[in-house]
């Protein structure tokens, strides 16, 4: 074990590698807060939602559905639907979490987001190649807490300052999100054959997105890709 | 500042979201995956990532499609920060020029 493997160094590495991601997150959090305030959500409600639920896609959906009287069950059901991808994400992390005690796994999974999960998976692949122990919990926590402490405070600020921030979306920050994911995809690249299921996912997601309202395109696309992998591996 | 209905909604959201985060782990932690299942689990990250960003590829704004093409190009060559900057700057500039 060398110095760079110490938990503190790994934690800091997580924060550092997450910083480009926050360029995209921060304006999204502000936009969410501003949209929330326009729907009558107070800054306290916004910070509770983003701090306790902490899953951006479902929060944008909840804000869109927010009304008086509040459709409590509908919002909860839509939240569940949108976040079904977490099941697959948690499953993908499980081989690396297995050896850890539950008192670490349970809080770690509370903070699992698209960003922390994807950065960690990419990191696992990188460390595997260099022969290190694949999963670094301290790195994951560094990424997760960075995302957390950008997300919920800035959503609260957005809700508090309201419509003055209305046009953040027009500044191009929306492109940060796919940019991050594209770089992560390249880090997972293992050749054209291994990427065929991605193409199936991609095309399925687009067809579902164009034809069906809501976030169904995420589970539909992901499952189609997994099915393609299942068939592909079975044949070979 | 906060009504019972919104508190209930937020707590419900928290409960179902945390459930989705936990269930994959609890379903699989005591199992050894077959080779085929392991291959499927291995493919999951890429499949989820690409499904999440798929809508960006069918944007109805030409400026966003061009910015996305530049971002794909950047992602195929450079690291995280330069790619994010190419994406944000090109989307912002093209968005204003092509309004």
For chain B, give every domain's residue range.
1-31, 35-98
Chain A hits for B80, CB-CB cut-off 8 Å, are: 17, 20-21, 180, 183
B33 pLDDT band, cuts 50/70/90, is: confident
Chain B CA closest to residue A53: B14
Helix (H) or strand (E) holding B18: helix B4-28
DSSP character for B32? P
Domain shared by A150 and A221, yes or no: no
User: What secondary structure letter does DSSP report for B34?
Assistant: P
Q: Which of A97, A210, A222 sits opposite B58 (nearest CB)?
A: A210
d(C-alpha A61, C-alpha B2), whole Å: 19
Same domain, A227 and A143: no
Q: Kindly report which listed range (A137-141, B28-32, B74-78) carries the lowest average pLDDT score.
A: B28-32
Do A163 and A201 belong together in one domain?
Answer: no
For residue A151, the distance in angstroms to the closest alpha carbon of chain B comes to 15
- Domain total of chain A: 2
B44 touches chain A (CB under 8 A): yes
In this predicted structure, what is the pLDDT of residue A181? 83
Work out the angle between the directed axes of helices A56-65 and B4-28 (0-180°, nearest 10). 150
ipTM passes above 0.90: no
Asked whether residue A35 falls in the same domain as residue A15, the answer is: yes
Question: What pLDDT sits at residue A211?
Answer: 96
Residue with the larger pLDDT of the pair B41 and A92: A92
A199 and A184 in a common domain: no
Cross-chain CB nearest to A83 (options B1, B17, B33)? B17
Alpha carbon of residue B20 to chain centroid = 16
pLDDT at A1: 44
Cβ contact, residue pair A48, B7, below 8 Å:
yes
Q: Is residue A182 located within the same domain as residue A196? A: no
Map tokens 């509370």 to a residue.
A110
Taking the CA of residue B51 and the nearest CA in chain A, the distance in Å comes to 5
A108 min Cα distance to partner chain B (Å): 10
Q: Is the pLDDT of residue B81 over 90?
A: no
pLDDT at res. A169? 66
Higher pLDDT, A219 or B7: B7
Same domain, A183 and A86: yes
Is residue A2 situated within a structural domain?
no
Please give, rounded to a whole number of angstroms, the shortest distance from the CA of B6 to a CA of chain A. 7
- Domain identity same for A109 and A202: no
pLDDT in tens, chain A (236 residues): 444 579 999 999 999 999 999 988 898 898 889 889 888 899 999 999 999 999 988 898 898 889 888 989 989 988 887 788 899 899 999 999 998 999 999 999 999 999 999 999 999 999 999 999 999 999 999 999 999 999 999 999 999 998 676 566 677 878 887 888 898 889 888 899 989 999 999 999 999 999 998 778 888 998 999 999 999 988 66
Task: For chain B, say whether A22 makes contact (Cβ under 8 Å).
Answer: no
Would you report the helix, strand and coil content of chain A in percent, each value rounded to 5? 80, 0, 20
Mutation pick from A90, A109, A175, A225 vs chain B, by most beta carbons of B within 10 Å, is A175
Q: What is the pLDDT of residue A235?
A: 67
- Token couple for A160: 């508090």
Residue A1 within any structural domain of the chain = no
Report the pLDDT value the prediction gives residue A3, as an integer from 0 to 100: 46
CB-nearest to A91 from B1, B28, B96 is B28
Query: CB contact, 8 Å: B41 with chain A?
Result: yes
């Amino acid at each position: 074990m060398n110095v760079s493997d110490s938990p503190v160094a790994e934690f800091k590495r997580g924060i550092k590698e997450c910083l480009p991601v926050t360029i995209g997150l921060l304006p999204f959090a502000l936009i969410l807060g501003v949209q929330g305030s326009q729907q009558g959500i107070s800054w306290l409600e916004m910070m509770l939602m983003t701090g306790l639920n902490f899953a951006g896609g479902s929060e944008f959906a909840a804000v869109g559905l927010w009304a008086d009287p509040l459709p409590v069950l509908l919002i909860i059901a839509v939240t569940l639907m949108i976040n079904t991808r977490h099941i697959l994400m948690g499953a993908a992390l499980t081989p690396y979490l297995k050896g850890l005690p539950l008192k670490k796994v349970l809080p770690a999974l509370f903070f699992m987001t698209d960003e922390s999960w994807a950065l960690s998976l990419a990191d696992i692949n990188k460390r595997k190649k260099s022969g290190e122990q694949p999963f670094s919990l301290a790195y994951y926590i560094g990424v997760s807490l960075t995302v957390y402490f950008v997300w919920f405070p800035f959503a609260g600020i957005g809700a508090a300052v309201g419509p003055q921030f209305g046009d953040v979306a027009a500044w191009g920050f929306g492109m940060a999100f796919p940019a991050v994911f594209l770089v992560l995809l390249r880090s997972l690249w293992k050749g054209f054959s291994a990427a065929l299921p991605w193409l199936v996912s991609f095309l399925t997601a687009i067809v579902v997105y164009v034809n069906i309202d809501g976030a169904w395109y995420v589970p539909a696309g992901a499952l189609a890709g997994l099915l393609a992998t299942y068939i592909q591996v079975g044949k070979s | 500042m906060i009504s019972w209905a919104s508190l209930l909604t937020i707590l419900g959201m928290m409960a179902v979201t945390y459930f989705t985060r936990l269930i994959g782990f609890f379903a699989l932690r005591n199992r050894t995956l077959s080779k085929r299942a392991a291959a499927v689990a291995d493919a999951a990250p890429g499949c989820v990532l690409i499904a999440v960003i798929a809508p960006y590829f069918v944007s109805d704004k030409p400026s966003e499609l061009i910015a996305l093409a530049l971002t794909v190009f950047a992602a195929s060559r450079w690291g995280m920060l330069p790619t994010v900057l190419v994406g944000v700057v090109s989307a912002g500039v093209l968005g204003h020029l092509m309004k």
